Amino acid sequence: MADAGMLRFHVPEPEVRPGGTPDFSNVTIPNAGSVPRPEIDVDPRAIRDMAFSIIRVLNRNGEAVGPWAGLLSDDELLEGLRHMMTLRSFDQRMQMAQRQGKTSFYMQHLGEEAVSCAFRKALTKGDMNFPTYRQAGLLIADGYPMVTMMNQIYSNEADPLKGRQLPIMYSSKEHGFFSISGNLATQYIQAVGWAMASAISNDSRIAAAWIGDGSTAESDFHAALVFASTYKAPVVLNVVNNQWAISTFQGIARGGSGTFAARGLGFGIPSLRVDGNDYLAVHAVAKWAAERARSNLGPTLVEYVTYRVGAHSSSDDPSAYRPKAESDAWPLGDPIVRLKNHLIQRGVWSDERHAQAEAEILETVIAAQKEAESHGTLHAGGKPSARDMFEGVYAEMPPHLRRQRQQAGV
């Protein structure tokens, strides 16, 4: 009904604040297997409703069902489970190391492990991710050495980035992992540029862009969608909607569009939503999008619906802005538990083997940690030299930096 008169200013609010009872009844969760799987060359206009649904494979009984199921073998799924468990264990140890003062900062993935771990397995060697700070599963699932990650986190003498970057801002061209900026959204358009370059070069490699729900509000996100759409760039445009941008609920960035996937519709980009806590669904959708990119069909936007169980970072305290038990109420469950149950249901896994694997993984992570710490931690032991600070600003050090290095006496 029309409501002319005094104007009112609207600021969206989450359903529940600290002290309240967590409530996700407004999040519609379609049944697993209920969303169709179109051909990769589908007319984007024919699948607009997919931007408002959620593709799911694992049902409540741990069964893989529907048209997106059946892409991965049991061995591949067991490997995926191990990657997610490794990432979780790695996070726990590094979070603790931060609390022990061994580094300045840490960001964990708790609850979001499936997104990056499963996505990596949909890519091919040579493809390039432009990640945010919460996709270390891309490295773990590609076999990047944990000890090298830890060396970076500790900024020690073996840090491949020479102590120049904040912890977890990894970089590995070899493992298809673009240097993390720490500025938000800048990498999104860079990923599109990388993909354009691959097409210009008649290459076969594709790019993957990563962004969180909150940062989709940055103008770089919109620039990326325009460029990807205009040049049909071979890129997968990932949006990880973990419900929270530090203390800001996703409704502040989303506004009235309903979903983040819907942002892609105006650009004519096929836009899908997927259960981000379902390893099989993430992998299947990523594979579909990667195949589209590699077949000259252009970009796909994928929104991963997940939940950030942990704090934003080691500097954050979520109890100040959301109910403590909210993560328990999250309707899509825990990605590790869900894949574990599926594998048990398949008869290839058990609670005993899971507990044993947990112990083995912890041992491996602790061994890597010991090795990394033998090269130093942020405030103790071996560290990059002050001389390293002046190197690498340019390919060749210009005279003014040489003078400053002399002044610094290093």
What residues make contact with other proteins under the rule CB under 8 A?
Answer: 128, 130, 160-162, 164-165, 169, 171-173, 178-179, 181, 183, 186, 188-198, 200-201, 207, 219-220, 223-224, 226-227, 230, 392-395, 398-400
**CB 311, min distance to other proteins, A:** 25
Residue closer to other proteins by CB (options 2, 395) is: 395
CB nearer other proteins, residue 119 or residue 178 = 178
Q: What is the closest distance, in whole angstroms, from the C-beta atom of residue 148 to other proteins in the complex?
A: 12
How many CB atoms within 10 Å of residue 343? 20
* Cα distance between residue 400 and residue 410, in whole Å: 15
Cβ proximity to other proteins: between 136 and 196 the closer is 196
Least separation in angstroms between CB 236 and other proteins = 14
Which residue type, as a one-letter code, is found at position 258?
Answer: G
Comparison of 199 and 265: residue with beta carbon closer to other proteins: 199
Given the complex with other proteins, which of 24 and 390 has the nearer CB atom? 390
CB of 176 to other proteins, least distance (A): 12
- Rank residues 187 and 300 by Cβ distance to other proteins and give the closer one: 187
**Angstrom distances, CA of residue 321 to CA of 102, 302, 349:** 28, 28, 38
Q: Which CB atom, from 170 or from 244, has the smaller least distance to other proteins? A: 170
Number of Cβ within 10 Å of residue 295's Cβ equals 11
Instruction: In angstroms, give the least distance from the CB of 125 to other proteins.
Output: 16
Q: At closest approach, how far in Å is the CB of 28 from other proteins?
A: 34
Min dist CB 378 to other proteins, Å, is 17
Closest CA to 159 of 375, 401, 333: 375
Of 160 and 258, which has the nearer Cβ to other proteins? 160
Is the separation of the CB atoms in 273 and 34 below 8 Å?
no
In the complex, least distance from residue 228 CB atom to other proteins, rounded to whole angstroms: 9
CB of 314 to other proteins, least distance (A): 20
Q: Closer CB to other proteins, residue 25 or residue 407?
A: 407
Output the CA–CA distances (angstroms, integers) from residue 371 to 150, 151, 168, 367, 376, in the order listed.
9, 9, 18, 6, 9
